[in-house]
Amino acid sequence: MEHVLGDKRSVAILVGPALLVYTLVMLVPIIWSLGYTAFEGNAVTGFSFVGMDNLTQLAGDRKVREALGFTLRYAAVITVGQVLLGYGLALLYVFVLRRYSSVVRTLVFFPIVLPTVAVALLFQQMFAIAPRDGLVNSFLNVFGIESVDWFGSGGTSFLVIAIMDIWRSMGFYGVLLYAGLVDIPEEVLESARVDGTRGWKLVRHIVLPLSLPVLVSAIIFSINGTLKVFDSILALTGGGPGTATTPLTIHMFQTSFAYGQYGYGSSIAFLLTLLCLIVTVFIFRASRRDLTKG
Amino acid sequence: MARSRRTARTSAGVAGLSMALIAACGGGDGATGGSGEFDVLIHVENTDVPAVLETLAGGACAAESEAAPVTVETVPQTNLDQQLQLLAGQDGLPVLYAAGNAPALTQTLAESGHVLDFEQALSELDAIEHIQPAAVSTIEALYGGFNALPLEYNIEGIWYNTALFDEHGVSVPATWDDLVAAAKTFAEAGVVPFSASGDQGWPITRLIGNYIFRSIGPDALQRVADGEAELTDPEYVEAAQAVADLGEAGYFGRGVGSIDMDTSTNEFLNGNAAMYYMGSWALSDFADEERNAIGAENIAFMPFPDVAGGAGHSGQLAANVGLPLTMNDRKYDDDASAWLSCIAENYGSTALEERSRISGFAVNTPVDDVPPLAQQVQEQIEATDETVLWFEALFSTEATITSQTNAAPLVTGSISAEEFMRLVQDDLD
Amino acid sequence: MTTVELHTTHGRVGGGRQQRRGARRWRQRFKRWPAHLLVTLLLVVVCYPMVWLLLGSFKTQREFLENSVVALPEQWNFDNYVEAWTTGNFSQYFLNSVTAVGPALLVMLLLGTAAGFALEVLVWKGRNAVLLIFLVGIMVPIQMILLPLFTVYFQTGLTGTLWPLIITYTATGLPLTVFLMATFYRAVPREVFEASTIDGAGIVRSFFSIGLPMMRNALFTVGLVQFFFFWNDLLIALTFTNSGSLRTIQVGLLNFSGQYGTTQYGPLFAAISLNIFGMLVIYLVLNQKVQKGLTAGSVKG
């Protein structure tokens, strides 16, 4: 069969344009930027060669370590939250709401459309303590719980960030995963039910394996998004209090453009890229194995 | 002055060549006398400068505008430094541009030949007398040279609510100890002593800086910049500790870390807070009758008080030039110098008349009905011969951000005064 | 066994026996109330903030800072909207956003789907290597390519147009599109394409006649995802728009922050509301279309 679906010219026609655009606009600049990791300086002052200094500095940099820790924590929590809730929503759409799900789908999807700046503002107000209690603290006070200064400490700030980002994106993942669930043939489900498989067992043994490819892409997609989080944290906490909620991306952006250390900033970006690569390949590998078994 | 690093709430860049010779081939547009345009890049948050330039173009500077019309481009302040770096890297900076959030960046730009030497340029235009000496000294202290235009000039100090002071029998504090005692009185009476934005951070670190200038002396932070002293030295830590103590006693009110700029202004203008450390740019808020519930007549200004036994005194007023604009040496041609001359002569009076904005330029055309508070500020400026900067003025951008983001943790007790100073010093080393 | 009814996509109730049907309906209702409660709660959690945004767009700065967060506005006038429209210059920004996002989206989808098809369906040496190269693009933070891109755009004289946005969006969206489309093609049995090529149609033709149409659903999903990424992008738009006339909507929203860290809440909320409810309308219209497409020409099989 190889000769049928292996025509080199066709491959070139189909892959060529995408690869060309991608190479020129992304790959070349990436390599260009990687080159900067061996230099220090910025666009204004010019660059000077420092060899491996940036990378050795990276290893002992407390700020980078903290930012890396935050990035990992954030990615783990948000990815799990997004994908789990999204999957729950998708199941709800397909098995409970069915044909009536389109309105709910639309509404729950909608927060992803809102500008990040607006959503952050909204959550700042909802979790406010000063000058007066916001929605959440008022609610807590009703139950006799003291108001919390949500943005006053790293832990509670992180909680607000997590709530905000999961609120924003769960509907989006719901739709993404829904597309995968809708494609499960009705006959398969029907025959499983005839065998008496229902509810949780049906999901566990039939639905989950069949929707695995889409689920894996959703996880890869999510983890790459969360490792590279930028806008939402910048808008909500600015990385504060102190640097308690500063992820690698914000630290990198500041290093490059605010502190004018472009070479060092590129080194931080390199670290982040490496991190994404390892995680993705790991998930990708795991899923490929599953698929060949399935 | 360093301000928020947050995004828009939301709410989130550069030599002294002898320009007379260079002017002719300024922007690389060949040997014409001018490029025929006067392009300006400014942060979108600053609405005063474009408005005043427009007025000048239609009036006092009509001839200059004819030769080179003003085109204004804006960029969000959080993105300003990035844009300046990118443009400078491509030699694409306009004639007149906002100098950058970080004084350090302006110096970098100056070193690479993107900044005009105003001392020389204005002297050649015989326009140097239009600049107030206090403003020049502030700029020189900040940038190490006359590298920016004082399109605004602000003094900083503590604004206080006279009605609340009378009501609680508090007299104007002369020393830091008096200030703390006054705060205690207010706190016990259920009034928030100080309204400050911990979200921005700088209104709090300003207090640390002022304390240092009063206790150690006006050159205290220059010594840190020169490496002769460290912020972790006990006399410096004392200042951070003094401010942390205010926080610990609850004198900034509740949730100070979450209070944004607007909220802190309103706390003061609603009469909930007795004192408010801020620059004189706040005058426009005070003049806004919609916002000001306590009335401008009930607001007064005091310089930051003395620290007992300190080497500095309250006559050394804290001052800044806002986020100043500077000119691009590489594009300084005949058109640009004509504009500069006209701005130097007319900007001061136009800004005062139109926007009630006090600048570092002489007011050459008398302006009527200046509000009393603005008059008070002007008198303060005229009476001042020595000014000091602010805590982060001479820091690198990195140390500035570290200082401002850790201000709230300092006053809420999450980090100690020693830790705070250590974090900032680490970024200076 | 009656609950089987609940799980069939086209739950047609068996004809005839009225009595049993009534009883069953009761039982069904009873069984379904937790689901209803869940959905209601979900909708409150999702919708309330948006309602709050809308209410906020009628408030004055004073109300924002002094009244309770949950209070209704004291007046119902459109001052903020007028302010937003005049300060905001939003018609221009909207046009810019559409001009930048539209072409980028179409080109990206076409190129990405073709590449995804070739990577998953066709058999050739180096497939996995190319897929991995595309994967790298998903992982690299965009911040990293800003400086080189800015240099290139500036030197080629593209700054001052919307081209940098269009080009950057197209390229940055490609890796994910390629990856997702490849995932979707993985689910399709190869025989479908093998049969069509044996029929004599060239591979490229069979891609356009079979491969592309069969992915309508997936294309819509991926297109939607990418659309909102581009539409809400701030970083790229901030870096490459150097003039007021080129601002996208998101950059325009930054106009409502004043000097010294203040924010004009009312006009900002009004601008956001315009932005959001405009989007809602567009989305609803599109959604209707998609629902139709879904039910009419189901892609399954």
Q: Do C261 and B89 touch (CB under 8 A)?
A: no
Pairing of strands B38-43, B70-75: parallel
> B343-347, C166-170, C242-246: lowest mean pLDDT where?
C242-246
Q: Which of B112, B194, B195, B405 to mutate to test the interface with A (most CBs of A within 10 A)?
A: B405
Q: What is the mean pLDDT of residues C89-104?
A: 88
A162 to A80, A120, A154, B360: CA distances (angstroms)? 11, 12, 12, 47
Q: Which two tokens stand for residue B127?
A: 């326009």
The reported pLDDT for the residue numbered B13 is: 26
Would you call A118 helix, strand, or coil by DSSP?
helix
More confident residue, B348 or A43: B348
> B61-75, B85-99, B327-341, B363-377: lowest mean pLDDT where?
B363-377
Q: B43 phi and psi, to 5 degrees?
A: -70, 145
Q: Name residue B26's amino acid.
A: G
The reported pLDDT for the residue numbered C23 is: 55
Q: Using CA of residue B165, residue B170, residue B171, residue B173, what is the dihedral sign? A: negative
> B368-377, B389-398, C3-12: lowest mean pLDDT where?
C3-12
The reported pLDDT for the residue numbered C294 is: 46
pLDDT band at B191 (very low <50, low <70, confident <90, very high): very high
Cα(B267)–Cα(B265) distance, integer angstroms: 6
pLDDT band at B61 (very low <50, low <70, confident <90, very high): very high
The full set of domain ranges for chain C reads 92-255
Closest among B97, B96, B64, B94 to B80, alpha carbons compared: B97
The reported pLDDT for the residue numbered B94 is: 94
Cα(C71)–Cα(C206) distance, integer angstroms: 60
Report percent pLDDT > 70 for chain B.
92
Q: Name residue C100's amino acid.
A: A
- Does A4 contact B at CB distance below 8 Å? no
Report percent pLDDT > 70 for chain C.
77
Closest among C294, B199, B109, B15 to A46, alpha carbons compared: B109
Most confident residue range from A228-242, B78-92, B96-110, B229-243: B229-243
The reported pLDDT for the residue numbered C24 is: 59
The answer, yes or no, to whether residue C140 has pLDDT greater than 70, is yes
The reported pLDDT for the residue numbered B28 is: 37
Report percent pLDDT > 90 for chain C.
11
For B27, what's the count of Cα atoms within 13 Å in the CB-facing half-sphere? 23
Instruction: Give the closest-approach CA distance of C148 to chain B in angstroms.
Output: 10
Q: What is the mean pLDDT of residues B60-85?
A: 89
CATH 2.20.140.10 correct for A62-293: no
State which H helix or E strand residue C201 sits in.
none
Q: Considering only CB atoms, which chain B residues are within 8 Å of C66? A: 266, 270
Length of chain B counted residue by residue: 429
Q: For A99-125, write each residue's pLDDT tens digit.
A: 677 778 878 888 887 778 778 877 887
The answer, yes or no, to whether residue B2 has pLDDT greater than 60, is no
Q: For C157-184, write each residue's pLDDT tens digit.
A: 888 899 999 999 999 999 989 988 887 8
Q: Which of residues 192-231 of A touch B (CB under 8 A)?
A: 231
Q: What is the mean pLDDT of residues A199-218?
A: 81
> A61-65, B125-129, C222-226: lowest mean pLDDT where?
C222-226
pLDDT band at C296 (very low <50, low <70, confident <90, very high): very low
Q: Considering only CB atoms, which chain A residues are within 8 Å of B82? A: 257-258
pLDDT band at A207 (very low <50, low <70, confident <90, very high): confident
Residue B246 near residue B252, CB atoms below 8 Å: yes
CATH 1.10.3720.10 correct for C92-255: yes
Closest among C66, A150, A239, A245 to B254, alpha carbons compared: A150
Ranges of beta strands (E only) in B207-346 are 273-279, 299-302, 317-320, 325-327
Sequence-ordered list of residues with C-beta below 8 angstroms from that of C48, at least 6 positions apart, any chain: none
Tell me what the pLDDT averaged over chain A comes to: 84
Q: For C178-203, write each residue's pLDDT tens digit.
A: 988 887 887 777 777 777 666 656 77
The full set of domain ranges for chain A reads 62-293
Judged on CB neighbours under 10 Å (0-12, 13-18, 19+), A293 is exposed
Q: Which two tokens stand for residue B375?
A: 């008059």
Of C66, C244, C257, the CB nearest to B11: C257
The reported pLDDT for the residue numbered B329 is: 93
Residue B97 near residue B328, CB atoms below 8 Å: yes
Cα(A181)–Cα(A175) distance, integer angstroms: 10
Q: Do C280 and A213 touch (CB under 8 A)?
A: no
Would you call B98 helix, strand, or coil by DSSP?
strand
pLDDT band at A151 (very low <50, low <70, confident <90, very high): confident
Q: Using CA of residue A126, residue A127, residue A133, residue A136, what is the dihedral sign? A: positive
Q: What is the mean pLDDT of residues C267-290?
A: 75
pLDDT band at B39 (very low <50, low <70, confident <90, very high): very high
Q: What is the mean pLDDT of residues C117-123?
A: 86
Q: Considering only CB atoms, which chain C residues are within 8 Å of A13? A: 114, 204
Q: Which of residues 219-258 of B touch A (CB under 8 A)?
A: 253-258
Own/partner long-range contacts of B140-146 (Cβ < 8 Å, ≥24 apart): B141/B222, B141/B387, B141/B389, B141/B393, B142/B103, B142/B320, B142/B321, B142/B389, B142/B393, B142/B394, B143/B103, B143/B106, B143/B107, B143/B110, B144/B107, B145/B16, B145/B110, B145/B117, B145/B119, B146/B117, B146/B118, B146/B119, B146/B122
Cα(B265)–Cα(B271) distance, integer angstroms: 10
pLDDT band at C290 (very low <50, low <70, confident <90, very high): low
Show which subunits contact B, needing at least 3 CB pairs below 8 angstroms.
A, C
Q: Considering only CB atoms, which chain C residues are within 8 Å of A21? A: 111, 170-171, 174
More confident residue, C215 or B162: B162
Q: What is the mean pLDDT of residues A176-202?
A: 79
Sequence-ordered list of residues with C-beta below 8 angstroms from that of A271, at least 6 positions apart, any chain: A58, A64, A68, A248
Q: Do C43 and A108 touch (CB under 8 A)?
A: yes
Most confident residue range from A84-93, A110-119, A237-246: A84-93
Closest among C174, C190, C197, C168 to C113, alpha carbons compared: C174
The reported pLDDT for the residue numbered B77 is: 81
